[in-house]
Structure 1
Amino acid sequence: MTSILGQDRLPALARGFSLLGSGGGGKTTLQELILGASNAWPLNVHQVRDVDPALSCVAIAYVGSTHFMHERLPVEDPFSPLLAAAARWSGTRPEAVCALEGGGVNGLTALGLAHEMVFVDADFTGRAYPRLDQMSLYVDKVPGLFAVCDTGAGGVAIVNTDRAEDMEKVIRAAVIQAGGVAPVLLGGFHVGDLREHAITGIYLRALELGDAFMAAEQEPVPVLAERLGARFLGQGRITAIEISARTMHNSTIEVTCNDGGISRVIARSEFLAYMSEGKVLAATPEIIVVLDSLSRAILQVDEVTQGRHVDVLSLPAPSWWLERSERLAHVLPAFFGLNLLERGT
């Protein structure tokens, strides 16, 4: 089935992808403005099962610190040089496009090509994750993949390797060369590969979440959680934020709850776990959402500051990660160096 996405659906889609960011993936505001100014609406969104499996496909995203996108605005057509390089490398012009990441700003990014390519409702995470070697195609070891990355000043880098860790390291170096954030394209696969090796239906899910959030935004938070299909974990005031002594990337956010208890949110570039009185109540790949209690803003990790009053929810994990233990191992807290933080411990 093909869905026709009107411009009026953009706010709900953005709220949905903000929720799926789990505190990461970047704010959607800039991409909302870019898409809102486009004359390409309405856009066609195709379900994977309804698209010719033989079509050559690519996935696109911004990689790096999305904060830089607000300081140095993207060029008008950032992915055109990457598509041209992909065509030269593979000998085939890509015909279909999907999202690389289904959370935060990158949920919206791929829509920028929906008017010129077959847009397929799929991505490789089902939420925001920080590393390219966590993308589902690499987790399932799909062969023949390559990536194209903008390196700044009109240059591109092409990385062709089946070693996921090499892809992560080399593309990350290219992103640094580009100034800290860069458009990235992943190719070397077909639409048929998405059926088993990708998370499908992410745009439908984002729209459902966005609609539910906007309809219940002013309701009591337990009601909001129920409408979202989420668990309400707790609410209170942030009283301390501690950076890990082992790595500056990890932090523990202490929340003094309204009921007098103490809770902690464990974060990296996304929220990874929620603990109450020493017990883990939610952990990645579940999607932990932190809201400002007053404004109901969906907060990024760096917006969770001392003294702020917050509500914490948990959305179910994308089922793709739960189907096989080898997949799950790439998204558990232990993958981030956080041991003994699985739910229930």
Structure 2
Amino acid sequence: MPAVFGHAVGMRIDTHDVAALERGVSLLGSGGGGYGGLGALLLRQRLAAGRDVVVLDLAELPAEARVVPVGVVGATAVFSEKLPSGAEFGAAVAAVERWTGTTADSVVSIEIGGMNGVIPLVVGCDLGLPVVDADLAGRGLPRLDQLSLAAAGRDVTPAALAEPSGQVLVLAQGSASDVERTARAFLTSAGGWAAFALPPIPVRDLPGCSMPNTVTHAIDLGRRALAHPTAFVTEVGGRVLAEGRVMEVSRRPGVGRHGQPTFGRGSVVVADHGTQALLRLEMENEYLLAIRDGAVTASTPDILTVVDRRTGVPISCDLIRAGTEVAVLHLPTAEFWTDPRHLPAVAPRAYDIDCDPVLL
């Protein structure tokens, strides 16, 4: 692909980058975000067919260029059962373009963790647009009202959802919580998942409401993890919380504010082989809290990841099982979330866990 803006050349994504990207986004999903392998499969298909995608640093884009955030929302597990037609993301982007009267110059991921860390590159291939080296979460997050746009006080409307059967819904106005609630209601009747697009953001505004360099970070993280499945952690400023066997996994319905049902909750207990300590992980869609022998030792928004000790493959919250030999990893969060103005959106109390954040 030739330079997209002036002399900007960016980073061309090749097939040999995909495995590292897949591993990196899976680690950054913190046990959630959906299976990155599905997005990687779609990306490999595009690249094998001769399509191209370039990842551009923010500095390579003109200040007035417009960036459209895109991703998948809903039950990503359904994605493998109800496959995309290929038109959903183009329809969602076109809807916000029509509604705002602007044209997308590039796309950016709504979250780097899990499937949404790869899908925008697929969208870039399909629409012929570059992908910005950034995202709106820095990790896996369960709710649209937790994205950095909302935490920074920016509007998240108009937003568009496009589902595989062709239905497109535009949310013209509303708060981030309104968008989250309405999107979930739409997904119930739309088959479980939909393509999602937010209003175009001028490049000059992105530094204050996004996480920079997260695509290249995910690729670098993935390369390190593929080479050294657990030893890479200290290289990136993290630590290993435990290495041992999963002794127990319990799951229970989640109850949110005012007694309303929410995402399911659960706990994982790991017996550390070296110290004999018990490490308990509290989880929702992601791993949220680590408690060692009764004391909180790590929490969201830092990234808690569980990997298979033999293979280094991350194990998601929905697939972890008793008897598995695992390593529990603690990785640092994006700097955006350590800002006291933004931290409440993703701290433990944002998940109704009465605990202060414990960060690296």
Task: Identify which of 6, 31, 35 aligns with 2:14.
Answer: 6
Task: Identify which of 327, 340, 343 aligns with 2:355.
Answer: 340
Q: Secondary structure at the match of 2:336?
A: helix
Structure 2 letter corresponding to 1:235: E
Is 1:36 the counterpart of 2:44? The answer is yes
Task: Kindly state the Cα deviation for residue 63 of structure 1 after the two structures are TM-superposed.
Answer: 0.5
Write the mapping of 1:207-218 to structure 2, written as runs, cut at 5 A: 207-217=219-229
Cα distance in 2 for residues equivalent to 1:245 and 1:152: 29
Is 1:93 the counterpart of 2:109? The answer is no
**Greater alpha carbon shift after TM alignment, 245-254 vs 332-341:** 245-254
**Greater alpha carbon shift after TM alignment, 17-26 vs 135-144:** 135-144
Cα distance in 1 for residues equivalent to 2:173 and 2:134: 23
Structure 1 letter corresponding to 2:334: P
Q: Secondary structure at the match of 1:281?
A: strand
Q: Structure 1 5/245 Cα, relative in aligned 2: closer, same or farther at 3 Å?
A: closer
Task: Identify which of 114, 118, 122 aligns with 1:112.
Answer: 122
Structure 2 letter corresponding to 1:216: H
Which residue number in structure 2 is paired with residue 121 of structure 1? 133
Q: Secondary structure at the match of 1:205?
A: helix
Which residue number in structure 1 is paired with residue 266 of structure 2? 251
Q: Structure 1 145/302 Cα, relative in aligned 2: closer, same or farther at 3 Å?
A: same
1:182-204 Cα deviation digits (max 9, x unpaired): 11111142222212111110011
Structure 1 letter corresponding to 2:355: L
Is 1:321 the counterpart of 2:334? The answer is no
Q: Structure 1 245/144 Cα, relative in aligned 2: closer, same or farther at 3 Å?
A: closer
Identity of aligned residues (%): 29
Task: Identify which of 110, 134, 148 aligns with 2:160.
Answer: 148
Cα distance in 2 for residues equivalent to 1:245 and 1:18: 25
Give the ranges of 4+ consecutive aligned residues of structure 1 lying more than 6 Å apart after TM superposition.
Answer: none
Does structure 1 retain, via aligned residues, the 8 Å contact 2:136–2:210? yes
Structure 1 letter corresponding to 2:351: F
Cα distance in 2 for residues equivalent to 1:26 and 1:143: 26
Question: TM-score w.r.t. structure 2 length?
Answer: 0.89
Cα distance in 2 for residues equivalent to 1:207 and 1:276: 31
Question: TM-score w.r.t. structure 1 length?
Answer: 0.93
Which residue number in structure 2 is paired with residue 286 of structure 1? 302
Which residue number in structure 1 is paired with residue 216 of structure 2? 204
Task: Kindly state the Cα deviation for residue 40 of structure 1 after the two structures are TM-superposed.
Answer: 4.5
Is 1:139 the counterpart of 2:151? The answer is yes
Cα distance in 1 for residues equivalent to 2:184 and 2:341: 24
Structure 2 letter corresponding to 1:121: D
Task: Identify which of 282, 288, 298 aligns with 1:266.
Answer: 282
**Greater alpha carbon shift after TM alignment, 233-242 vs 145-154:** 145-154
Is 1:56 the counterpart of 2:56? The answer is no
Cα distance in 2 for residues equivalent to 1:190 and 1:282: 35
Which residue number in structure 1 is paired with residue 238 of structure 2? 230
Task: Kindly state the Cα deviation for residue 245 of structure 1 after the two structures are TM-superposed.
Answer: 6.9
Query: Over aligned residue pairs, what C-alpha RMSD do you find?
Result: 1.8
Q: Structure 1 15/144 Cα, relative in aligned 2: closer, same or farther at 3 Å?
A: closer
Which residue number in structure 1 is paired with residue 26 of structure 2? 18
Cα distance in 1 for residues equivalent to 2:156 and 2:14: 35
Q: Structure 1 144/109 Cα, relative in aligned 2: closer, same or farther at 3 Å?
A: closer
Cα distance in 1 for residues equivalent to 2:66 and 2:22: 27
Cα distance in 2 for residues equivalent to 1:321 and 1:338: 17
Cα distance in 2 for residues equivalent to 1:40 and 1:336: 43
